[in-house]
Amino acid sequence: MAAKPKTYDEAFSELKSLAEKLESDEISIDELSKVVDRSKVLVKYCQERLRSTEASLNAEDNN
Amino acid sequence: MTQYTLSDFNVLVKQTLTDHLAPSYWIVAEIGELNVNRNGHCYLDLVEKDGSQIKSKCRGTIWSYSFVNISKDFERQTGSQLVSGMKILFNASLEFHEVYGLSLNIKDIDPSFTLGEREKQKQATINQLEEDGIIDLNSSLIIPTVPQRIAVISSESAAGYEDFMNQIEQNQYNYQFDFRLFNATMQGHAAVESIIGALHQINSIEDKFDIVIMIRGGGAKTDLDCFDDYDLCAHLAQFPLPIVTGIGHERDSTISDLVANVNLKTPTAVAEYILSALMRFENDVLTVFDEIRKNATQKVRDHLDHLNVMKNNLNASVEQIMQKEKYQLEFIATSFQQRPFEIIKNETNTLILISKLIQSQDPEKILKKGFTLTKAEGEYITDYSKIKKGDIIETISFKRTIKSRVE
């Protein structure tokens, strides 16, 4: 779960599954903040990728 | 035998033709070559082919005063200019010139014939693509959720390309893209090979791209026939990446549009399509995130509420217990205050009773009543059986004491 998503589709389906788990009450209060933090990471990943090109992303990764 | 000079003979030919031919005929032929000189006169080579063999050939002319109107009307109705390779139905008279020989003087062209021919050809191409089983191939490819790496087939010098790049690079959402232009001729017959060449280039590095777009600015009515070409369309149909077309047609779509995954009217529409895909994705992401946030917040609230209820219950229970203890203490305290007095009161009453009782036993009270006490030898007598004759007794009454002898 801590791995960086590789594709938009990966990130989005993970996000959806977190939402579903939350909906079905599978998440305990302790895990709640972890779920919210992870979903923030996923959203940030998507938004950053939408606003940068492969080139700039690769440069970032190499730095 | 009659001998003619050449010119006389030509005059005879000319006369014979004039006598025996109608003023004009409607003729179907293919334009082999077409040239317009600087005076505006159009000179054509008209042919009829059998496969690739030329079966028949004749020169044709359209004088400038006719050509202006004919070509305008033709272009308006078919969307194309008169070009080589095109089959036309025209109305012409046969001209015989003594020096230049035979030619057809074209007075009118029927655009609907060419349209019909084009439609027939188009339909034949479509049928062939269907038969080959490739017509749906590109349409069945799935466009990635976020098409960000884009191969562009267009002409660098075309206005459509520039407009497209401006629109998409300066989008208000600040979305970024990886574009790579594959330059190609986008009109006329040269376009077919040029575009196929671009497709091959893209194919060799296809994993670097999400989609291919083929764009061409509209504006002027230029030849779209190249986009109906079987060869080009076969390449497009079988291409491994989804193809999006925006080739600026005003009316009918071309076969290229038909085989493409997505076909749009203009480069602008293509830009909007791509941007809206990213926008839709971002929206979906934010919507799910919003659900998560709301849900999490609600859960925390519920939990807090529950804790609160528990706390209140606890408080209530404690309160109850405390209250009970308090009453008990108060009760005891009160008891402590009252009891001593009660005891004393009781004891006092008892004492009073006892004293009354004692007082009631006072001999004086008895003597007052008339009773007497008897003493003998200084002692009170209770057992009268001990008294004998001759004893001296004292009878004590209330006021006096009487001494007497027992008889």
ipTM value, please give it: 0.88
pLDDT single digits (tens) B371-387 = 888 888 888 888 888 88
Task: Check B177 against A53: CB less than 8 A apart.
Answer: yes
pLDDT digits (tens, 9 = 90+) for B33-92: 999 999 999 999 999 999 889 999 999 999 999 999 999 999 888 878 898 888 999 999
* Phi then psi dihedrals of residue B11, to 5 deg: -60, -40
Indicate the pTM of the whole model. Answer: 0.69
Quick check: helix, strand or coil at residue B390?
Answer: coil
Query: Whole-angstrom Cα distance, residue B255 to residue B236?
Result: 10
Angle at A46 between CA B263 and CA B140, to 5 degrees: 30
Instruction: Determine which of A22, A28, A34, A60 to mutate to test the interface with B (most B C-beta atoms within 10 Å).
Output: A22
Residues in chain A within 8 Å Cβ distance of B285: 11-12, 15, 42-43, 46-47
Burial B190-227 (b: 16+ CB within 10 A, else e): ebbebbbebbeebeeeeeebbbbbbbbbbeeebebbbb
Q: What is the DSSP string of A11-24?
A: HHHHHHHHHHHHHT
Would you say B210 and B144 are in contact if contact means Cβ atoms under 8 Å apart? yes
Give the three-state DSSP class for B331. Answer: helix
**Residue partners of B5: CB distance under 8 A and separation at least 6:** none
Least confident of B1-5, B176-180, B255-259, B260-264: B1-5
Tell me what pLDDT residue A1 has: 53
B149-189 pLDDT per residue, tens: 999 999 988 778 998 999 999 999 999 999 999 999 988 87
Compute the count of residue pairs across chains A and B with CB atoms less than 8 Å apart. 80
